[in-house]
A and B are shown apart, each in its own frame.
Chain A
Amino acid sequence: MDLLNQITQFVISGLATGAIYALIGLSFAIIFNSTGIINFAQGEFVMLGGVMTIFALNVLKLPLLAAVVAAVLGTTAVGLAFERLAIRPLKNATPLSLIIITIGASILIRGVVMLLWGKDTQVLPPFSGNTPLEIAGATLLPQHLWIFGVTILVIVASRLFFHHTISGKAMRACSFNRKAANLVGISVGRMVLLSFVISSALGSLAGVIIAPLTMTAYDVGVMLGLKGFCAAIMGGMGSGLGTVLGGIILGTLESLGAGLISSGYKDAIAFLILLLILFLRPQGLFKKGETERV
């Protein structure tokens, strides 16, 4: 019984981190689908969300909601600047230079945050207290509910956006075929910019809601970003349910592995899963393989 309780507990916290990975995975997929770029700086958007919220809350003395909005807007501004200054000048770049430039940007963002706010771990208080709820012998924190709620909201909203608005449909058109999209009058450049805006907003939101559980610092972005990428790969780089499922599977496996095997190897478990999927099913868990055009 004790073991069963423990497992329930691990699954609950796994689902919560999994939801975060899913959000980050979606933010990866949005940029990838409109540009073909894997943004190695994606994790920094997540970090910026948490760090900026703490800054707005503690230094600017904003109320929580305003602080969150300010942080998401601030990160979006960084995403926008990043697209304009680093991605747009490299129009016909090779994948290699795009990898290098996004790595460079991620180091730069991390460095600037470290200089501005220091190296210390920072704490964001939970949104609605710390009184745990008991469910089937395991404890559920109010913050877990926030995470589940926000994640579901974001998934529904992005579904509505991508399938029922003109901009969303235009972005999907670009991901299918940029040239054709351009020919029917869609401004591909604007859609790329929009994808960076949405993606950085989404990433930072994930960073805000996870910060009360895990604390945050200038260097948390790398790991979170990589795991979000892992979720996106599991979902086959789509922006739909596959990525969400990928995130949740990853989060749960990682949490169970850390709890039952060894917490020191928690991150190694995630990367082993990433490698296995890349080796065995690089097209994602739920997709059929595609042939490459030369």
Chain B
Amino acid sequence: MKSDKLKFLVFCLVVFALPLPLSTGYLTNVLIFVGINSMLALGLNLLLGYAGQISLGQAAFFGLGAYGSGVLTTQYAFDPWLSMVLVALVVAGFAFAIGFPVLRLKGHYLAMATLGVGVIAHIAFNETVDLTGGPSGLSGIPNLSIGSFSFDSDLKNYYLVWSFALAVILLSLNLVNSRYGRALRAIHDSEVAARVMGVNARLMKVQVFTLSALISAIAGSLYCHVMTFISPTSFGFNISVELLTMVVIGGLGSVYGSILGALLLTLLPELLRTFQDYDIVVYGLLLVCMTIYLPGGMVRGIPALLRRLVPARSGNA
């Protein structure tokens, strides 16, 4: 697996060097969100791409992470790093607890149940006005800092967020190529067969669900400290669907595919800003067309498409 390590190193270098030629803060800012969305997409990819379990409630864990950190640091004067760890552990515990009943369900029922969790969390963010500020949001969240070094600029936040994102990428890559990852894929292909082979499918599904919730919660904590302001609209059903779109159009079960999906879907609304309301139509079209024409996502679909086009051209010539 030497080429995998090389690929990862090259990717790290690109990530490190990317903001250097960018003079404007705007693009760096967009790239920060690419990093956060990559973490979320990778978390969902572990669950959906490897274990084959859909979740339409990822935004709930993202939101719990963001609101957990936001509320603890603004209202109870917790240390941001401490609150990040605490919140991540609590959210993971919560996901573990609901994971057992939720992941007993399959297919459409699983989709609906996770969606229900997402909707309930979104309503709670809106309604617990005393804690979260309700629909008008929560502001004045402090930046993260180490000693006297504060992450208060876009560039500093870029490196902060991407260090976390790279850690999640490394974790995903290692997990995927481990015994554990192979067992997950076995569950994806046939849960019954996996169980017959001695894989504890029920527990593993809950574990990977918990891991994806943990990653989402950390992404949420980072998001709230980078933005210093959060409101419930960032954690609604649309966000869960957007994450699903990222993973699907990137290519289910592909680590770099998820990042590509996150990159595209974060840049797309920025590019479409002049026709602001059209982005929802474009998302819908993308989802429908990708499922019909490129069911393997871009990382598999585009090379296959090229292979089909290139011999055809040489045949004509």
Residues of A within 8 A of B (CB): 37-38, 40, 86, 89-90, 93, 95-97, 99-101, 103-112, 114-115, 119, 222, 226, 229, 233, 262, 264-265, 267-268, 271-272, 274-275, 278-279, 282, 294
Are A268 and B277 closer than 8 Å at their CB atoms?
no
Asked if B284 and A101 make an inter-chain contact with CB atoms under 8 angstroms apart, the answer reads no
Chain B nearest CB, measured from A136 CB (Å): 32
B280 near A268: Cβ-Cβ < 8 Å: no
For B190, the closest partner residue in chain A by CB is A294
- B283 interface residue (CB < 8 Å to A): yes
How far is it, in angstroms, between the C-alpha of A112 and the C-alpha of B283 when the chains are bound? 12
Kindly report which residue of chain A lies nearest to residue B100, judged by CB atoms: A279
Residues of B within 8 A of A222 (CB): 237
3 A-B pairs with the lowest CB-CB distances in the bound complex, closest first: A104-B287, A108-B284, A107-B284
| B288 near A108: Cβ-Cβ < 8 Å | yes
A96, A111, A274: the one within 8 Å of B281 (CB) = A111
Q: Are A268 and B124 in contact (CB under 8 A)?
A: yes
Contact of A268 among B107, B111, B119 (CB under 8 A): B119
Residues of A within 8 A of B120 (CB): 268, 271-272, 275
Which residues of B in the span 262-317 have a Cβ within 8 Å of any Cβ on A? 277-278, 280-281, 283-288, 291-292, 295
Which B residues lie within 8 Å of A101 (CB)?
287-288, 291-292
Interfacial chain A residues near B127, Cβ < 8 Å: 262, 264-265, 268
Counted as pairs of residues, one from A and one from B, with CB atoms less than 8 Å apart, the total is 118
Q: Which of A38, A89, A115, A268 has the most CB of B within 10 A?
A: A268
Within 8 Å CB of B237, what residues of A? 222
Q: Is the interface of A mostly helix, strand, loop or mixed?
A: helix
Question: Chain B contact residues (Cβ within 8 angstroms of A): what range?
Answer: 35 or more
Within 8 A of A (CB), among B106-161: 107-109, 111-113, 115-117, 119-120, 123-124, 126-127
Cβ distance B284 to chain A, nearest Cβ, rounded Å: 3
Q: Which residue of B lies closest to A223 (CB)?
A: B119
Q: What CA separation (Å) do A99 and B286 show in the bound complex?
A: 14
When A89-B292, A271-B120 are in contact, do A229 and B112 touch as well, CB less than 8 Å?
yes
7 contacts between A and B (CB under 8 A): A95-B107, A99-B111, A101-B287, A103-B244, A104-B287, A110-B284, A265-B127
